[in-house]
Structure 1
Amino acid sequence: MRTNDEVVAYVDDLRKEQKMSINDLAKATGLAKSSLSRYFNKSREFPVNKVHLFAKALHTTSEDILGFNIPSNSIDTSGMHYVRIPIIGTIACGEPIMAEQNIEGYTHELFEEEPQKDEIFALRCKGDSMEPLIPDGALVLIHKQPTVEDDEIAAVQVDDDTRATLKKIKHVGQNVILYPINTKYDPIILNKDNPGRILGKAIHVGFDM
């Protein structure tokens, strides 16, 4: 997933390629021109919860703008690797994430480079805290890794290691802030009094799996 600055630069490039002024883009998205100017000069963070408006205006997808690695049917699949990926259900306390009792099924995905064994897993999104980018029921592929960068979306183990949640990550001092995209939900703060563990980075959102 792209960082905030990379998203802004990509949207600006798309706008210029399509010969749209900021005023044109403001009209197409229904957002104020002053707000768009602040996004482009990076004095305000890009509104991830409004990315679908930019996607529609610029004739692309939210996933493309945010930089999720979603293979397209137009890509030449010769030489690509078809990988069987476990779908993780409930995560038992203290159990390895790939433990048999945690796996509720499998999905398959194409990769240009074959991932290492147990490097990729999938989670079924439950709830609307990450809408509109990740709707309820979406299947999200996770690259297993213990850390992610700010503004990336991660699967995080919380509630005494019994539940995994998908949230946007921000590091603030000794705290890790888990931000939902849907603004009707409050962030979750992880620290020594409320611990959690990053399981991996979201790399693919599937809508029809």
Structure 2
Amino acid sequence: MTPTKEDIKKWIKASGKSREWVAEQCGVGKRTLDNWLSSARPVPSKVILIIQRLMAEKVSPILPEVELDFTDEEWEVISAAMTSTQQTFMEFINSAFRNALKEFADIALQNAAKEKEAARKQFVPVETFPSIVSTSNERYNLSVIGNIAAGGLQAGDTIPYHITANRPLGKDEYVLRVEGKSMEPIIPDGALVIMRKHTIPPVPKVGTIVEYYDERGVTLKKLARKKNPETGKMDYVLHPLNPKFGDIEPMDGGKISGVYVETLEKWEKV
């Protein structure tokens, strides 16, 4: 039977395991595990399977026997290594397994990072289209480079189309079309918003409307902070302006790629 979040919390407490340890076994940070267990967001199925195996170890503590068959030359190398490190045979074997697992985890994390970067490039604006001044009635030709969700996170549409507007784009600015009602009434569904690329390390000020992305997709929300009931610390959240929608909790690896500048009021599709 699949364990619930309450089952997992009770098991962690009863087993004496720390959340840091459980998070490490799942290949994530403690903050991510805390968010999974304290929010309405479902725990990923892969993580559930890992935790189920960890919980089963308590029920079946007898491990299967493993036969280690070394050649004479390999035994000489192992004996020399044990002598130099002053380890017993089991200590040496455990150390070797830990190192192998760490190397495997490092490779897995590197591959995951590459996959996230590839996914990010599907919807994060990499370059802005130039703003070309039109000679008639102070109109400017702009390009809408994609969509951004004002609701749950979703992948952005990167197919551009062109409009005319009453203002040009500044440095590092670009135009996105809003999909969803979570930022109403300030930013209505279907509105075109001007964003400015955010690449510098400091996090924007609390209260700033930002473009946030992670492996789940991209969304437009106000940056806010609230107290984490599990840790007592103030964590960042992505807050909708529409009270009918709930907060979104950032994930490890998530980033802010842009900040909201303004909503285009007067524009026409070319």
- TM-score bracket, shorter-length normalisation: 0.3 to 0.5
Could you tell me the TM-score, scaled by structure 2's length? Answer: 0.36
Whose Rg is larger? 2
Could you tell me the TM-score, scaled by structure 1's length? Answer: 0.46
Higher helix share: 2
Higher strand share: 1
| Greater RCO structure (CA 8 Å; 6+ sep) | 1
